[in-house]
């Protein structure tokens, strides 16, 4: 079992995305990612970071007095010890969510973890990395996120919804690329097409204009 993980940052903020948007949350951002999405807003987490013992991470989380923890990246599953970290957090009574690109296997993720999994759209430049077999490990407590940058992304995402019957599996999130896809236009398309999805805007960027949410 891993004794430590490479961590870019641990911080306390409001959850800016997903179904817990607006809830005070502790974020653990792991270093490293095998993808290079065109619109990535956390490229600073690709390299560097600091190795921290898993028990020390949990101790630091405990200083905030908050029940919600989001494990993010980078791509957190690129470090195998991420699985151990999440299970230990759950065993300590935290509500844990995982933000993952969907490019790595989620089969071994603790079933108590709320998985928020991207399905990479064409404008990301990384659709070839989508791991569709991950759908088999999603439950109704989980979420699939589509980050939409243009009309092609929207049409692609709409087709994926139908082809894979995704709304029957879990909650679906449509999120505009900030500064690229007009959010009002995306919202109107969702309503026009009566899609069974949740529209979301990155709250932390509206409040702080910052990818870290603080």
Contact 124, 147 (CB under 8 A): yes
Q: How far is Cα 148 from Cα 174, in angstroms, rounded to an integer?
A: 7
Q: pLDDT at position 1, please?
A: 57
In order of 41, 139, 172, 192, 197, the CA distances from 167 in angstroms are 27, 11, 6, 17, 7
Q: How far is Cα 163 from Cα 88, in angstroms, rounded to an integer?
A: 36
Q: pLDDT at position 2, please?
A: 64
* Per-residue pLDDT reduced to its tens digit, 168-211: 999 999 999 988 999 999 999 999 999 999 999 988 788 887 64
Q: How far is Cα 173 from Cα 196, in angstroms, rounded to an integer?
A: 9
Q: pLDDT at position 179, please?
A: 87
Percentage of residues in the chain with pLDDT exceeding 90?
A: 90
Q: pLDDT at position 210, please?
A: 64
* Structural domains in the chain plus CATH codes: 4-208 (3.20.20.70)
Q: pLDDT at position 205, please?
A: 81
pLDDT band at 3 (very low <50, low <70, confident <90, very high): confident
pTM (2 decimals)?
0.93
- Give the number of other CB atoms < 10 A from CB of residue 133: 10
Q: Does residue 206 sit in helix, strand or coil?
A: helix
* Per-residue pLDDT reduced to its tens digit, 133-175: 999 999 999 999 999 999 999 999 999 999 999 999 999 999 9
28-38: average pLDDT: 96
- Name the E strands within the chain: 4-14, 24-30, 50-53, 68-72, 95-100, 114-118, 143-148, 171-176, 198-199
Q: How far is Cα 210 from Cα 143, in angstroms, rounded to an integer?
A: 23
86-92: average pLDDT: 98
Q: Does residue 24 sit in helix, strand or coil?
A: strand
| pLDDT above 90 (res 64) | yes
Could you tell me how many residues make up the chain?
214
* Per-residue pLDDT reduced to its tens digit, 98-111: 999 999 999 999 99
Task: Identify the residue with better confidence: 205 or 77.
Answer: 77
Q: How far is Cα 143 from Cα 59, in angstroms, rounded to an integer?
A: 28
Q: pLDDT at position 204, please?
A: 79
| pLDDT above 70 (res 214) | no
């Amino acid at each position: 079992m891993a004794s430590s993980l490479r961590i870019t940052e641990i911080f306390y903020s409001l959850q800016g995305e997903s179904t817990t948007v607006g809830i005070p949350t502790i974020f653990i951002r792991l270093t490293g990612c095998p993808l290079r999405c065109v619109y990535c807003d956390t490229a600073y987490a690709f390299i560097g970071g600091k190795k921290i013992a898993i028990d020390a991470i949990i101790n630091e989380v405990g200083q905030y007095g908050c029940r919600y923890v989001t494990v993010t990246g980078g791509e957190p599953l690129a470090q195998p010890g991420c699985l151990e970290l999440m299970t230990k957090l759950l065993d300590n009574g935290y509500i844990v969510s995982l933000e993952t690109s969907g490019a790595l296997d989620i089969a071994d993720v603790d079933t108590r973890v709320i998985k928020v999994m991207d399905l990479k759209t064409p404008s990301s430049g990384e659709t070839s990395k989508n791991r569709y077999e991950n759908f088999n490990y999603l439950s109704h407590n989980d979420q699939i996120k589509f980050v939409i940058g243009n009309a092609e992304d929207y049409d692609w995402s709409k087709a994926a919804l139908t082809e894979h019957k995704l709304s029957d599996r879990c909650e679906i999130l449509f999120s505009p690329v900030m500064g690229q896809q007009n959010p009002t236009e995306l919202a109107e398309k969702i309503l026009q097409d009566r899609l069974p999805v949740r529209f979301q805007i990155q709250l932390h960027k509206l409040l702080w204009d910052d990818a870290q949410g603080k």
